[in-house]
Amino acid sequence: MNKLKKALNNNKITFGTWIQIPHPSIVEIIAHNCCNKLDWICVDMEHGVIDIESMANLIRTIEKFDITPVVRVPKNDYIWIHRVLDAGAKGIIIPMIKTEEEAINAVSESLYPPEGIRSFGYSRANIYGSNFEEYIKEFNNEISIILQIEHIKAVENLEFILEIPHIDATFVGPLDLAGSLGKINEKNKNLVNEKLNYYLSESNKIGIPTGYHIIKPSKLLIEDIKAQGYKMIAIGIDVVFLSQKCNEIFG
């Protein structure tokens, strides 16, 4: 069982980070300097400029550091889900889930029959067919399926979404949630916090681990997010690490 799935199943806190720059050197630099403190690294194909081939190379690099490779797909679509899993992702984050039906579709496309409807094929994940039988036998017990709750409709349907089997965690998107409630400003900050608190309490009640991305991390913020009960915590993003250091030196 991969490191991320094992931790989530045991309700343990995991730490990861986000990659948007499509070069293996970025992973090497981050993984080396984080001194084995990362459980997972997410390759962002929703908002980054990362293509399929670059994504596979990033997964290869992440694996070298005994870190779980996670990929956020651009959308809840079977073609993206299948290709990312075929490339060797051990965790998949599926964005903008709003309804129970969308969640069922995401989970179903992520799993082989009989639990799901993922299609079979030779790929990098099964060493191009050399490990095909073993891979498809073990895969459903290995993959971490994480759904993003980032719209008011998702919050309204949260109870139904969280009851779907095989969801390992969800990841909240505060900015998109705020956007779905109107403008991102101080006026609806209290409303957003109210929805986030509901998301946390409902998830804890049902027993599904929650995730949060600290875009601009600090030790204080990390401790605060831990104290709130989040279990899958993303610390920073490669482009922000780079810009923060530039501002620190030249700002």
Active site residue 32: no
Distances (CA, A) of 248 to 30, 153, 208, 234, 244: 18, 40, 38, 22, 6
How far is C-alpha 72 from the chain's CA centre? 6
How far is C-alpha 85 from the chain's CA centre? 13
CB of 233 within 8 A of CB of 222? Answer: yes
One-letter identity of residue 212: Y
Exposed e or buried b per residue across 150-177, where buried means at least 16 C-beta atoms within 10 angstroms of its C-beta: bbbebbebbeebbebeebbbbbbbbebb
**Residue 195 token pair:** 């929805």
- Active-site residue (options: 47, 82, 151, 213): 47
CB of 50 within 8 A of CB of 80? Answer: no
Rounded to an integer, what distance in angstroms lies between the CA atom of residue 65 and that of residue 127?
19
User: Which residues have a catalytic role annotated?
Assistant: 47
